[in-house]
């Protein structure tokens, strides 16, 4: 991130904290609850935003070495992502060319050859069909044109992108725009490694899961005994990049930055977090040698159910420090009681997961399940997004526009 942007963001947050004012969009919006429950909207979304839309599947550190692979089946096309023997990131339809069986049982691992469990046709990690058992019984097959079906795949600045359609357009420059692409590149996301993940499948529409990351108004209320203990909330800097946005809120120590020269301001100290929303379903929170990514997916058969995949990435130095602390017994115990105590934790998988469990799973998504039930009752026709919730205006105005739904209604 450019230092001039760091300074602008932190100054604006300082102003809000000093004046006791939150961000002000100058307008409220009313939105129908039907996008959370309507099967027609859900089917449009599945088609336009998932089955036929570029997907960010992970970071380079998910495929740390040649032969690494990942199997993903979240958006209608089963994908086998590999790093081939030349180091190139590739993606294939995870389906054998014989009779369509899936090639891997595990979600991730390392393999040079994928042998189909059904009749043992074998493929290289570059997708070539390399062996057919009992070929004299089966009959001749031209191996050169029966490799795995390849999908467009791009690795850029540490981000792994796939298009679910073999002839899909995967233009990352057009997708992100130059400004956001450059800013994301500045976090060196290619240098951190996959450290762990957790999946939450719950009874809420995927957009309600997404809404969790759309305002800081609730931090001191819903999260008063968890995240609200370390992040004050009620302040926000929001910048839109087309369909995406950046969302930053103040850390508790931000006011102390007044006496520090602006050239030394560090966004990871002055801000509690820097969060990028990448349309349509990704929350990316890059830190200092860390990154958390939340990928949210609808259940294609039920608008009232979704899965959030929380992925944690850490630098090797953080992983080594966490291991060393465990080995010498100095690692702090990680629990809902300790994880919100100031300075009590090295970046670790356990610490991140504890925050996501106690704050997101047990608080935000519990609200989301209740919101879903109310919307499903059909009795609550609208919700209201306040002047202090402009990221929610942005999410839902964008969805309405892309899906051809009625626009949100301005309340003057
Ligand atoms: S389906 Fe894969 S070898 Fe037959
Ligand atoms: Fe929350």
List pLDDT tens digits, range 249-287: 999 999 999 999 999 999 999 999 999 999 999 999 999
Residue 166 pLDDT > 80: yes
Supply the pLDDT for residue 323: 87
- Whether residues 334 and 186 share a domain: the answer is yes
Backbone angles phi and psi of 37, in degrees to 5: -130, -15
Confidence of residue 14 (pLDDT cuts 50, 70, 90): very high
- Whether residues 135 and 283 share a domain: the answer is no
- Whether residues 7 and 119 share a domain: the answer is no
Return the best residue to mutate from 92, 94, 98 for the ligand 1 pocket (most ligand atoms within 8 A of CB): 98
- Whether residues 34 and 80 share a domain: the answer is no
Of all residues in the chain, the percent with pLDDT exceeding 90 is 90
372 falls within a domain? yes
Residues 337-351 have a mean pLDDT of: 76
Confidence of residue 2 (pLDDT cuts 50, 70, 90): very high
Q: For the ranges 262-266, 305-309, 348-352, which has the lowest average pLDDT?
A: 348-352
Residue 298 pLDDT > 60: yes
Q: Pick the residue with more confidence: 345 or 376? A: 376
- Joined together, the tokens standing for residue 332 give 């702090």
172 falls within a domain? no
Q: How far is the CA of 167 from the centre of ligand 1 (A)?
A: 24
Which residue has the least CA distance to atom 4 on ligand 1?
Answer: 119
- Joined together, the tokens standing for residue 324 give 């060393």
Q: For the ranges 23-27, 329-333, 403-407, which has the lowest average pLDDT?
A: 329-333
CATH number at residue 101: 2.102.10.10
The set of protein residues with a Cβ atom below 6 angstroms from ligand 1 is: 96, 98-99, 101, 116, 118-121
- Whether residues 277 and 349 share a domain: the answer is yes
- Whether residues 46 and 59 share a domain: the answer is no
Supply the pLDDT for residue 344: 56
- Whether residues 110 and 207 share a domain: the answer is no
CATH number at residue 198: 3.90.380.10
Q: How far is the CA of 287 from the centre of ligand 1 (A)?
A: 43
**The 3-state secondary structure of the chain, one letter per residue:** CCHHHHHHHHHHHHHHHHHCCCCCCCCEEEEECHHHHCHHHHHHHHHHHHHCCCEEEEEHHHCCCCCEEEEECCCCCCEEEEECCCCCEEEEECCCCCCCCCCCCCCEEECCEEECCCCCCEEECCCCEEECCCHHHHCCCCHHHCCCCEECEEEECCEEEECCCCCCCCCHHHHHCHHHHHHHHCCCHHHCEEEEEEEEEECCCHHHHHHCCCCCCCCCCCCCCCHHHCCCCCCCEEEEECCEEEEEEECCCHHHHHHCCHHHCCHHHHEEEEEEEECCCEEEEECCCEEEEEEEEEECCEEEEEEEEEEEEECHHHHHHHHHHHHCCCCCCCCCCCCCCCCCCCCCHHHHHHHHHHHHHHHHHHHHHHHHHHHHHCCCCEEEECCCCHHHHHHHHHHHHHHCCCCCEEEC
CA of residue 409 relative to chain centroid, distance: 28
Which residue has the least CA distance to atom 1 on ligand 1?
Answer: 99
Q: Pick the residue with more confidence: 356 or 169? A: 169
| pTM tops 0.95 | yes
- Whether residues 370 and 260 share a domain: the answer is yes
173 falls within a domain? no
pLDDT by residue (tens digit) across 117-159?
999 999 999 999 999 999 999 999 999 999 999 999 999 999 9
- Whether residues 83 and 190 share a domain: the answer is no
Q: For the ranges 209-218, 341-350, 388-397, which has the lowest average pLDDT?
A: 341-350
pLDDT by residue (tens digit) across 225-241?
999 999 999 999 999 99
119 falls within a domain? yes
Q: Which atom of ligand 1 is nearest to the CA of 100?
A: 1
Of all ligands present, the nearest one to the C-alpha of 217 is 2
Q: For the ranges 188-192, 228-232, 366-370, which has the lowest average pLDDT?
A: 228-232
118 falls within a domain? yes
- Whether residues 29 and 63 share a domain: the answer is no
167 falls within a domain? no
**Residue 126 domain boundaries:** 55-162
Q: How far is the CA of 96 from the centre of ligand 2 (A)?
A: 42
Number of domains composing the chain: 2
**How many angstroms separate the CA atoms of 201 and 50, rounded?**
18
- Whether residues 45 and 79 share a domain: the answer is no
Residues 12-17 have a mean pLDDT of: 98
User: Of 162, 192, 222, which residue is a domain's last?
Assistant: 162
Kindly report the average pLDDT of the chain as a whole number: 96
Supply the pLDDT for residue 105: 87
Residue 342 pLDDT > 80: no
170 falls within a domain? no
Contact 235, 254 (CB under 8 A): no
Residue 409 pLDDT > 90: yes
Residue 345 pLDDT > 80: no
Confidence of residue 334 (pLDDT cuts 50, 70, 90): confident
Of all residues in the chain, the percent with pLDDT exceeding 70 is 99
Supply the pLDDT for residue 329: 83
């Amino acid at each position: 991130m450019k230092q001039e942007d760091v300074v602008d963001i932190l100054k604006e947050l300082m102003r809000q904290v000093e004046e006791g004012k939150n961000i002000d969009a100058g307008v409220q919006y009313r939105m129908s609850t039907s996008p959370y429950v309507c099967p027609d909207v859900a089917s449009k979304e599945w088609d336009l935003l998932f089955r036929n839309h570029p997907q960010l599947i992970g970071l380079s550190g998910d495929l740390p070495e040649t032969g690494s692979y990942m199997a993903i089946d979240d958006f209608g096309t089963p994908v086998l992502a590999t790093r081939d023997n030349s180091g190139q990131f590739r993606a294939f339809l995870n389906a054998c060319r014989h009779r369509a069986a899936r090639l891997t049982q595990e979600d991730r691992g390392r393999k040079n050859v994928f042998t189909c469990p059904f009749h043992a046709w074998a493929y290289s990690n570059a997708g070539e069909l390399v062996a057919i058992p009992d070929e004299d019984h089966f009959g001749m097959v031209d191996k050169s044109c029966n490799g795995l079906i390849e999908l467009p795949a791009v690795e850029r600045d540490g981000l792994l992108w796939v298009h679910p359609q073999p002839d899909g357009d995967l233009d990352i420059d057009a997708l992100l725009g130059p400004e956001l692409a450059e800013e994301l590149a500045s976090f060196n996301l290619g240098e951190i490694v996959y450290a762990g993940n957790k999946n939450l499948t719950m009874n809420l529409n995927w957009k309600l899961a997404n809404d969790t990351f759309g305002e800081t108004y609730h931090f001191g209320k819903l999260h008063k005994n968890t995240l609200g203990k370390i992040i004050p909330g009620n302040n926000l800097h929001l910048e839109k990049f087309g369909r995406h946005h950046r969302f930053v809120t103040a850390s508790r120590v931000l006011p102390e930055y007044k006496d520090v020269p602006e050239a030394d301001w560090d966004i990871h100290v002055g801000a509690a977090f820097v969060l990028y929303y990448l349309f349509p379903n990704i929350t990316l929170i890059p830190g200092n040698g860390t990154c958390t990514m939340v990928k949210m997916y609808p259940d294609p058969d039920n608008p009232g159910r979704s899965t959030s995949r929380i992925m944690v990435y850490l630098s090797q130095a953080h992983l080594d420090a966490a291991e060393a602390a465990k080995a010498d017994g100095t690692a702090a115990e990680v629990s809902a009681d300790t994880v919100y105590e100031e300075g009590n934790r090295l970046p670790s998988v356990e610490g991140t997961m504890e925050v996501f469990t106690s704050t997101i799973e047990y608080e935000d998504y519990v609200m989301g399940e209740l919101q879903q039930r109310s919307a499903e009752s059909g009795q609550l026709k609208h919700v209201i997004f306040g002047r202090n919730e402009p990221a929610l205006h942005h999410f839902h105005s964008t969805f309405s526009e892309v899906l051809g739904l009625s626009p949100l209604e301005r309340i003057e």
